[in-house]
Amino acid sequence: TYQQIAALEPKVEAYLEIDAQRAVALEAAKAADERGYGEDAPLLNGIPIAVKDNIVTQNLRTTAASKMLENFVPTYDATTVERLKAAGAVIVGKLNLDEFAMGGSNEKSAFKVTHNPWNLNKVPGGSSGASAATVAARQVPASLGTDTGGSIRQPASYNGVVGIKPTYGSVSRFGLIAFGSSLDTIGPMTLTVEDNALVLEAIAGYDEKDSTSLQDIDTNYSAKIGQSLAGMKIAFPKEFKSEEINEEVREAMEAAADFYRSEGAIVEEVSLPYSKYGVDVYYIIASAEASSNLQRFDGIRYGHRSEAAESLEDVYVLSRSEAFGDEVKRRIMLGTYSLSSGAYDAFFDKAARVRTLIRQDFDKVFAEYDVIMGPVTTSTAFDIGGRVNNPLEMYVADLLTIPVNLIGAPAISVPAGFDSEKLPIGLQLIGKPLDEATLYQVAHAYE
């Protein structure tokens, strides 16, 4: 692991913290060796795993790629990290992201830009771009990412790895630095579908420290891997075949649909008419929730405090002005506006209502079908610098991933070949809430 990290890190630049963890990681690896790798070894014994830097780690700096938290060393582990350690995994370091997970390219990190290992001039996607890139570069076999509007699936697709956004509430958010609390999820990114299911088994399940955590869920996610797809009903929405989607991506999806038919599945066209409003709804709701969640960074309790402040108001205003990046400020302003008394009815309330219509679309399809398929993104990885100054173009890129966060369902990105530039294409499979096992079954078949 460390050899591969040393060899490729100068090119990929995935890590925000690695050296500070080395002694602890080697110690944990030694303990794993002592436990042995027999039948009764813990599920992930000795497996090196890296963690996105908006998930807190005890005694290991956690920045969310923001100057606000540049020197923040948490005193506790997030539940997901605690569970990885309990399963025997070795935490090797912390991964770059767009600041506070707001973005889709890793270019919005306050510290560095991560590169796509398939072509170093391309973005790895985001916000979990480094979580995908480090797996694609074979630096680690697995990582944790987070997905609020597509941030696990989009980079998984751009880097040719497997990434799942689990059902909202199935993985604890305790210790995740909150962005949009009704949308945020944590999930694994891996090289294979089976590895993905096993890491999810280790981190999922009820946690009393997260008030939205679901009780008594079945976490036997790998149960159906390898089972036949005969008779499985797969919906392919016509909105996922639209002109906005690059032709090579569309062809790759048709090939996947043909494959599933050849395996005995029934693939039929359906419609999700309200999903086209997903991006609009998402940027209102996610920004509103972000503006509220980010209030805690006030320069008083922890985080950056301006040296220039001479009054209490200065402490708030200057600390926040100095430490938040442009994208984060944009979200705070958008969110504060849509929650304000004059704009609430026209924006936040309306967005919440349209969110229900989007959910009803999906409910109708899931009454008849087991899984929904389509692309993860409208194109493959774009050039570094290509969209960074055009927030609208960046926002629309999440067209196909965002509706799933709005409804809370699980969705997986699985590699589906390459385009003519040799950049990976991702197939997205969306499942019924809590039916990750079927997603892994269908994803595994296409691997």
Cβ-based nearer residue to ligand GLN, 257 or 285: 285
Tally Cβ neighbours within 10 Å of residue 238.
12
- 238 included as an active-site residue: no
CB closer to ligand GLN, 50 vs 334: 334
- Please provide the DSSP assignment of 347-411 as one string: IIIHHHHHHHHHHHHHHHHHTT-SEEEEESSSSSPPBTTSSTT-HHHHHHTTTTTHHHHHHT--E
Structural contact between residues 65 and 111, judged by C-beta atoms closer than 8 angstroms: yes
Among the listed residues 286, 332, 388, 437, the single contact to ligand GLN using CB under 6 A: 286
Sheet with 233-237, strands from edge to edge, namely 15-17, 90-95, 48-52, 142-147, 185-190, 162-165, 411-418, 424-431, 371-375, 233-237, 266-270
Identify the residue among 46, 88, 103, 408 touching ligand GLN (CB under 6 A): 103
3-state SS, residue 421: coil
Q: Tell whether residue 54 is a contact of ligand GLN (CB under 6 A).
A: no
| Choice among 66, 105, 109, 127 that is catalytic | 127
Shortest reach from residue 437's CB to ligand GLN, in Å = 24
Q: Which of 66, 105, 128, 151 is catalytic?
A: 151
CA-wise closest residue to 376 among 252, 266, 281 = 252
Least Å distance, CB 165 to ligand GLN, is 8
Using the contact rule CB under 6 A, the part of the chain among 32-40, 131-139, 143-151, 206-214 near ligand GLN is: 143-151
Q: Please identify the residue of the shown chain whose CB is closest to the bound ligand GLN.
A: 151
Among 141, 149, 303, 408, binds ligand GLN (CB under 6 A): 149
Restricting to residues 116-135, name those near ligand GLN by CB under 6 A. 127
Q: Counting contacts by CB under 6 A, is residue 101 touching ligand GLN?
A: yes
User: Which of 28, 69, 102, 334 touches ligand GLN (CB under 6 A)?
Assistant: 102
Closer of 46 and 175 to ligand GLN (Cβ): 175
Cβ closer to ligand GLN: 14 or 101? 101
Contact (CB, 8 A) for 54 and 97: yes
The number of residues that bind ligand GLN (CB under 6 A) is 14
Stretch near ligand GLN under the rule CB under 6 A, chosen from 77-85, 101-109, 202-210, 346-354: 101-109
Q: Which residues of 393-414 are buried (b: 16+ CB within 10 A; e: fewer)?
A: ebbebbbbbbbbbbbbbbbbbb
Q: Which is nearer to ligand GLN, 147 or 195 (CB)?
A: 147
Residue type (1 letter), 22:
R
Q: Quote the CA–CA distance of 34 and 402 in Å, as a whole number.
A: 44
- Residues 174/76, Cβ–Cβ less than 8 Å: no
Least separation in angstroms between residue 248's CB and ligand GLN is 22
Q: Which residue has the tokens 């690059």?
A: 246
Q: Identify which of residues 48 and 150 has a Cβ nearer to ligand GLN in the complex.
A: 150
Nearer to ligand GLN, 44 or 404 (CB): 404
Nearer to ligand GLN, 46 or 150 (CB): 150
**Angstrom distances, CA of residue 264 to CA of 6, 213, 414, 439:** 46, 36, 20, 16
Buried b (16+ CB within 10 A) or exposed e, 268-303: eebebebbebbbebbbbbbbbbbbbbbeebbbeeeb
| Minimal distance, residue 171 CB to ligand GLN, in Å | 14
- Least distance CB 287 / ligand GLN (angstroms): 8
CB atoms within 10 A of CB 421: 11
- Of the candidate spans 96-104, 211-219, 255-263, 351-359, the one that interacts with ligand GLN by CB under 6 A turns out to be 96-104
What is the C-alpha separation between 123 and 134, in angstroms, rounded?
13
- Residue closest to 291 by CA, chosen among 333, 343, 323: 333
Is position 413 an interface residue for ligand GLN (rule: CB under 6 A)? no
52 carries an active-site annotation: yes
* Candidates 52, 122, 165, 432; catalytic one: 52
How many angstroms separate the CA atoms of 199 and 114, rounded?
A: 24
What residues make contact with ligand GLN under the rule CB under 6 A?
101-104, 127, 146-151, 179, 286, 398
Q: Which residues are catalytically annotated?
A: 52, 127, 151
